[in-house]
Amino acid sequence: MKETPSRNLRPGVHRRLFGHLPDGRAVEAVTLVNAQGVSATVIAHGATLQSMIVPDREGKLADVTLGHATLAEYLGSTAYFGSSVGRVANRIAGGRFLLDGTEYRVPANNGPNALHGGPEGFDKALWDIVETGDTPAPFVRLAHTSPDGDQGFPGTLQVTAKYALGDDGALAITYRATTDRPTIVNMTNHAYWNLAGEGAATGAMDHELTIPAEHFLPTDDTAIPTGDFAPVTGTPFDFREARAIGARVRDTTHDQIRIGHGYDHNWVVDRSRSATPRLLARLAHPASGRVLEVLSTEPGVQFYSGNFLDGSLVGKRRQAYRMGDGVALEPQMFPDTPNRPAFGSIRLGAGEEYCHRIVFAFSGEG
């Protein structure tokens, strides 16, 4: 099923069929539209942000997030375009961790490590659309139950994802979870961005990035943090002032750029969670004037420069996605936290609630 344009929809919430899974279950798409014509489309498969249409400095609308036009393409993709990922985003070393003295093993789906909740993580699930509305802003809330032992994780986890689109053009995502026994949770959204417009010939390497972090987490050659909090000063990882991504993305004189084939690292904006979303990253496209600010209640942001997009995946405008055609900015707790006590904790106990709030705030500059 091809994508239905959402640029001419009236403000509010619009539901439609997006496709069917191989077992016949229907997958819906929900498009949220604000009074300015900004829209966000979420599909129930993976609670996935499929489209984000925002204006440039002259009011011209464009879809700025990478993704697919059909459900079949999402089912065949491993890129996590716009997906809600969990139970645990990023990597767990060796696919194993200790929780309350018990060792658990989860499937290794990224070399020797577990990535984004395993091969059948939340991004592969068909979520239930449990609520939509337009007060105070257009929103959709989705829910998913992850049973005890799912992908090796303990406890039955009840998860919700709420997307709400404000009249200011900000898309707010709230992930909540509860469990019936201790488990670990670290969710994020895995949107890829190209503020020139999805499928633009220039890619995203001319975007200017700011990350207000004095440290980043270097990794070994399997992308697991070494445990060090490395200063960004004097390195290609210093984005405290806005810098073009492409200026240093291939600076292989720095071993971390060589190991990651570009940027695929976590920046340490703080050492603990925040009660309210704070700025983790600012992405700007000088040619169009589009700006994206990423705010979150989590302390880290994984910046991935699209290093492994190799032309094998086709986007909504039928262009093949190539290296650097989009970048991901994933707010989260730090990778491999269950095995790194110095990183903090992602333990969730019975009777507790996990809550991660993300804001993707769009604006224009002259």
CATH number at residue 274: 2.70.98.10
Give domain status of residue 2, yes or no: no
In a domain, 1, yes or no: no
* Distance between CA atoms of residues 139 and 131, nearest Å: 8
* Residue 282: strand pairing partners: 210, 293
pLDDT digits (tens, 9 = 90+) for 285-328: 999 999 999 999 999 999 999 999 999 999 999 999 999 999 99
Task: Please indicate whether residue 190 is annotated as part of the active site.
Answer: yes
- Specify if 297 maps to a domain: yes
Residue 262, in any domain of the structure: yes
- Span 132-191, pLDDT tens digits: 999 899 999 999 999 999 999 999 999 999 999 999 999 999 999 999 999 999 999 999
26 by DSSP, 3-state: which?
Answer: strand
Specify the number of domains making up the chain.
1
Of 68, 190, 207, 356, which residue is the catalytic one? Answer: 190
| Domain of residue 230, residue span | 12-364
Which is the catalytic residue, given 28, 208, 293, 330?
Answer: 330
User: Which sign does the torsion angle of CA 82, 152, 160, 129 carry?
Assistant: positive
* Residue 330 annotated in active site: yes
Residue 337's pLDDT band, with cuts at 50, 70 and 90, is: very high
Measure the CA–CA gap between 24 and 166, rounded to whole angstroms: 34
pLDDT score of 7: 58
Taken as a whole, the chain contains a residue count of 366
pLDDT at 366: 65
* Confidence at residue 365, expressed as pLDDT on a 0 to 100 scale: 85
pLDDT value of residue 202: 87
Give the pLDDT mean for 186-209: 96
Is residue 114 a part of any domain in this protein?
yes
Cα separations (Å) of 33 from 11, 12, 203?
A: 5, 5, 26
Contact yes or no for 238/209 (Cβ under 8 A)? no
pLDDT over 70, % of the chain: 98
Residue 348 placed within a domain: yes
Tell me what the mean pLDDT of segment 80-94 comes to.
98
Nearest to 16 by CA among 30, 6, 2, 26: 30
pLDDT (average), residues 15-31: 98
Report pLDDT for 8.
74
299: phi then psi, degrees, rounded to nearest 5? -90, -10
Domain-embedded: residue 344? yes
349, pLDDT greater than 60:
yes
pTM of structure? 0.96
User: 1 pLDDT exceeds 60?
Assistant: no
Q: Which helix (H) or strand (E) holds 174?
A: strand 170-179
Per-position DSSP letters for 93-158, written without gaps between them? GGGEEEETTEEEE----BTTBEETT-TTSGGGSB-EEEEEE-SSS-EEEEEEEE-TTGGG--S-EE
* DSSP states along 264-303: EEEEES-SS--SS-EEEEEEE-TTT-EEEEEEESSSEEEE
pLDDT range class, residue 34, cuts 50, 70, 90: very high
Residue 24 placed within a domain = yes
C-alpha dihedral (196, 116, 95, 127), degrees to nearest 10: -160
